[in-house]
A = this chain, B = another copy of it.
Amino acid sequence: MRGEDKHDRIIKAAIKVFAKNGFYNSRVSEIAKEAQVADGTVYLYFKNKDDILIRLFEEEMDKIITNMKGEMDNIPNPDEKLRRFAVVHLNMVRENKSLAEVIQVELRQSSKFMHEYKNRKFIEYLNIISTIVKEGQRTGYFRTDIMPGLFKRSFFGALDELSNMFVFSTKRKYNVEMAADQVSSFFIAGLLPDSNH
C-alpha cells in the first residue's frame, strides 16, 4: 500500500469513504487519513473535492468499459452477448460494492457538476448495449422495430436496479447468475422476431 502511487491511494480511499458516508458527508481529511497522506497532499493530485469524484468516476469507468468490451469480443451471437453483459455487470457490482455504490448513488446525486462528466463515460458504457442490438438487427437476428436507444436504457436500468438489491440488501435471496439470466431472458424474448406480443 505505502509504495503505491499517491494518486491511486487517494482514489481508493475516496471510494471507500464516499461509499461509507456519501459524497457530501465525507471529509477530505478523512480521505487523506485513509490514504495515509496529509490533507494538503490531496490538493497536489486533485483540484478539489469535486475533482476527486469526477476523476474517480472517469478512471474507474475506463477500466470497466475496457473490460466489458474485451468480454464482448469473443462472443459471436448478439443474444449471448447480452446475457454475458448482464452476468459481467452484476458480478462487477458484487465484487466492487463500494465502487458500485459510489457510481450508482453519489453520481446520481451530484447532478449539477456531474451532468457533463457522467454522460461521456456513462453513454460510452450504454452504447456497448446498443451496439450489440444494432449488430443483431443488421444480421437479421433481432427485430428491427426495437429502438436501440430505448433498449439500452431499459436494459441497463433493469440491471442497475438489480444491482441496488445486491449492493444494499443484506439478505441474499437471489444469486447473481440467476438474476442475470432472468433479466436478459425478458429482454431477449422481446428482441426475437417470433415472440408473440
Contact = CB atoms under 8 A, between A and B. Distances in A.
Contacts of A112: 21-22, 25
A153 interface: yes
Contact of A105 (B24, B109, B150, B173): B109
Interface string A86-121: 000000000000000100111011111001000000
Nearest to A24: B24
A159 B162 contact: no
A195 interface: yes
A192 B197 contact: yes
A174 B154 CA distance: 13
Q: Max chain B CB contacts within 10 Å: which of A159, A162, A168, A185?
A: A185
Given A25-B112, A197-B189, A154 B150 contact: no
Main secondary structure on chain A at its contact with chain B?
helix
Contacts of A185: 190, 197
A164 to B, nearest CB: 8
A134 to B, nearest CB: 15
A158 interface: yes
Contact of A174 (B150, B156, B183): B150
Given A147-B174, A158-B158, A186-B154, A108 B110 contact: no
Interface in A176-197: 178-179, 182-183, 185-192, 194-197
Minimum-distance CB pairs A-B, first 5: A157-B161, A186-B190, A154-B158, A24-B24, A189-B189
